[in-house]
Amino acid sequence: MQINSFEEYQETYQKSINQPEEFWAGIASNFLWKKKWDHVLSWNFTTPDIKWFEGAKLNITENCLDRHLAENGDTPAIVWEPNDPEKESITLTYRVLHEQVCRFANVLKKNGVQKGDRVCIYMPMVPELAVAVLACARIGAVHSVVFGGFSAKSIADRINDAACKVVVTADGAFRGNKQIQLKEVIDDALIGCPTIEKVIVLTHTRTPVSMLKGRDCWWEDEIKLVDSNCPAEEMDAEDMLFILYTSGSTGKPKGVVHTCGGYMVYAGYTFSNVFNYQPGEVYFCTADIGWITGHSYIVYGPLSQGATTLMFEGIPTYPNASRFWDIVEKHQVNILYTAPTAIRSLMGFGSAPVQGKDLSSLRVLGSVGEPINEEAWHWFDEEIGKKNCPIVDTWWQTETGGIMISPIAFVTPTKPSFATLPLPGIQPILVDEQGKEIEGNGVNGNLCIRFPWPGMLRTTYGDHERCRLTYFSTYENLYFTGDGCLRDKDGYYRITGRVDDVINVSGHRIGTAEVENAINMHAGVIESAVVGYPHEVKGQGIFAFVIYPGLSKDEELTRKDILQTVTRIIGAIAKPDKILFVSGLPKTRSGKIMRRILRKVAEGDTSNLGDISTLLDPAVVQEIIGKSRQL
Ligand code: PRX
């Protein structure tokens, strides 16, 4: 399944385009199926309706666990590095992980979870999180993992949207020198969640928590009451595997749905190729399982390939900025996959934290989540890779399920800040605003994909029309990514960032409309407008323009109140970096906010604001510019 030379890549790519069904059937035959497919692909991008491997039966956990037992049962599946470096790390072999997953799957069953039921998982980065995810898949329940940084309200919205039956959580989480009271957040969330019947709580921080009789039970007690025999549920290739909520330009986050067969094939194939994973290697992805990167490239991709995947509970700067490099040295990490934001933040500490660390085990470096600037790329290459490790800059999305445009390690010649070339099976196309294809090289356009791939989303949970509108209606017969993109003279792709109202803060996708709604919920706020601006470490920062009449002298306190409101409504990750109080917003006569102007102000570049003659009240702009200079 692995591609070993650039010529082989080119041949494979051609085949994948000319005979996609044959190509993917060949890849899929490397996986374990209870029954093979009747038909490889049926699709249209209008409804949309996409089916891969129709008629096939499988269970993804048999691919991630059972099939490795005979020969690799004693191979480490998960190596866990705790937040506190003084604490022991934990290794779960494939045999032990299999046993724990089966046991916890029986716990879920005992608590009433059946095939097709939705389970919300809100946990710290501990091995039990991976166990809970796989246990759901084992019995055909649909997991919906919610990142530990979201607020009670965000969790409640997600639980209600998916009508989840059970929550799996922990008492608390450690993050650097902070503790997060997860169970308390869940308790707040569940005040408004009538569908939840049971809450299973893992002991981790051992902070006092309230345990509601009849609803809440301890993980540790439950696993004692079940055995470890749990046959894998037979799933259709197109049965739902999980839901993962993600932000868009409008409304509440939507539940992106991935299905069993295609997702498994795509996550496994891309993992094996992009990182050139070799048996026995230790692979470390620094993401959180609460995001798609963790789903595809901590859990499903690596485990489907029998890899050793390292899970890290903490943050890159705790107890100090050497932590990643200490982990690489301690566990002899061979492949390191991280985000530009982490690289930039560590780069800020200079080379001292890297000095004296043995990074010689590293073979491949990866980047994901946001555009990587050249400076960060070179720092990663020189300081960490010692100019000896290929960097795979992987472009993809929650919706794509796996990596789409990326170098293949040791195969594709890299170029700083370029995601380079499409992986086999991926057909990118650049279009202009009208949807007309922009051909040739040395061009810019909106990035779309014109042919299905196995890992793509199938729908948005409970609202198929929203899926159609968001991804398939902007341009006819194309999947629209929401990203702008450059194709250079060599045909290499460079992602330039979102072209919609989504901002990418530290690799996290945040909808401006969502932040505006949260700010507007603050008493006293009349209206707000949120835009992104370049931020040295986070990639983009959040800039909020807020109309708040009757602002008292203490602006700073009101600012903090607004931040608190956003934290309550969405979570700390959506807090604006800057708030500017204004008396009006630049609106056209039809009432539309001219965000272009606000973006310029946020960037601090007000020299050329373009045509503002269509504004209802052009004087507003002068006021905003004046105030922004004082911020
Ligand atoms: O704008 C692109 C950016 O992240 C968006 C997807 O975010 P999310 O669904 O949260 O998934 C992140 C992890 C896959 C994309 O629309 N993005 C992701 N990877 C890159 C990137 N931008 C530039 N270069 C990348 N390598």
Cα atoms in the 13 Å half-sphere on the side-chain side of 557: 4
Nearest to 272 by CA among 306, 317, 240, 295: 306
Q: pLDDT digit string (tens) for 21-64?
A: 999 999 999 999 999 999 999 999 999 999 999 999 999 999 99
Nearest to 105 by CA among 73, 62, 55, 147: 62
Peptide bond into 48 cis (omega under 30): yes
400 lines ligand 1 (CB under 6 A): no
Q: With respect to residue 197, please indicate whether it lies within any of the assigned structural domains.
A: yes
- In the reported structure, the alpha carbon of residue 418 is separated from the centroid of ligand 1 by a whole-number distance in angstroms of 13
Q: pLDDT digit string (tens) for 435-475?
A: 999 999 999 999 999 999 999 999 999 999 999 999 999 99
Q: With respect to residue 153, please indicate whether it lies within any of the assigned structural domains.
A: yes
As given in the structure block, the two tokens for residue 597 are 């102007």
Q: Which domain-ending residue is among 221, 250, 267?
A: 221
| C-beta separation of 531 from 598 below 8 A | yes
Q: pLDDT digit string (tens) for 547-596?
A: 999 887 789 999 999 999 999 999 999 999 999 999 999 999 989 999 99
- In the reported structure, the alpha carbon of residue 373 is separated from the centroid of ligand 1 by a whole-number distance in angstroms of 14
Task: Work out which ligand 1 atom sits closest to the CA atom of 509.
Answer: 10
The residue whose CA has the least distance to atom 6 of ligand 1 is 397
For 488-603, where are the E strands, in sequence order?
Answer: 493-498, 502-505, 508-511, 527-535, 539-547, 578-582
Q: With respect to residue 515, please indicate whether it lies within any of the assigned structural domains.
A: yes
Count of beta carbons in the 10 Å neighbourhood of residue 599 = 14
Provide the number of structural domains found in the chain: 2
Task: Work out which ligand 1 atom sits closest to the CA atom of 371.
Answer: 23
Q: With respect to residue 325, please indicate whether it lies within any of the assigned structural domains.
A: no
Residues 6+ apart with CB under 8 A from 609: 597, 600, 621
Name residue, tokens 């209008």.
46
- CATH code for the domain in which residue 583 is found: 3.30.300.30
247 lines ligand 1 (CB under 6 A): no
Gap between the Cα atoms of 469 and 265, Å rounded: 27
371 lines ligand 1 (CB under 6 A): yes
Q: With respect to residue 201, please indicate whether it lies within any of the assigned structural domains.
A: yes
Q: What count of residues does the chain have?
A: 631
Q: Which domain-ending residue is among 198, 221, 244?
A: 221
The residue whose CA has the least distance to atom 4 of ligand 1 is 369
Q: With respect to residue 460, please indicate whether it lies within any of the assigned structural domains.
A: no
Which range marks the domain in which residue 531 is found?
502-628
Task: Work out which ligand 1 atom sits closest to the CA atom of 393.
Answer: 26
Q: With respect to residue 608, please indicate whether it lies within any of the assigned structural domains.
A: yes
Q: With respect to residue 314, please indicate whether it lies within any of the assigned structural domains.
A: no
Q: pLDDT digit string (tens) for 244-268?
A: 999 988 888 999 999 999 999 999 9
| C-beta separation of 118 from 141 below 8 A | yes
**Residue 218: Cβ-neighbour burial (10 angstroms; 0-12, 13-18, 19+):** middle
R_g of the chain computed on alpha carbons: 24
Q: Which domain-ending residue is among 193, 221, 249?
A: 221
395 lines ligand 1 (CB under 6 A): yes
- CATH code for the domain in which residue 165 is found: 3.40.50.980
Residues 6+ apart with CB under 8 A from 356: none
Gap between the Cα atoms of 235 and 261, Å rounded: 9
- In the reported structure, the alpha carbon of residue 315 is separated from the centroid of ligand 1 by a whole-number distance in angstroms of 20
- In the reported structure, the alpha carbon of residue 369 is separated from the centroid of ligand 1 by a whole-number distance in angstroms of 4
Residue 177 clears pLDDT 90, i.e. is over it: yes
Q: pLDDT digit string (tens) for 293-351?
A: 999 999 999 999 999 999 999 999 999 999 999 999 999 999 999 999 999 999 999 99
Gap between the Cα atoms of 334 and 231, Å rounded: 34
Nearest to 85 by CA among 351, 315, 353, 339: 315
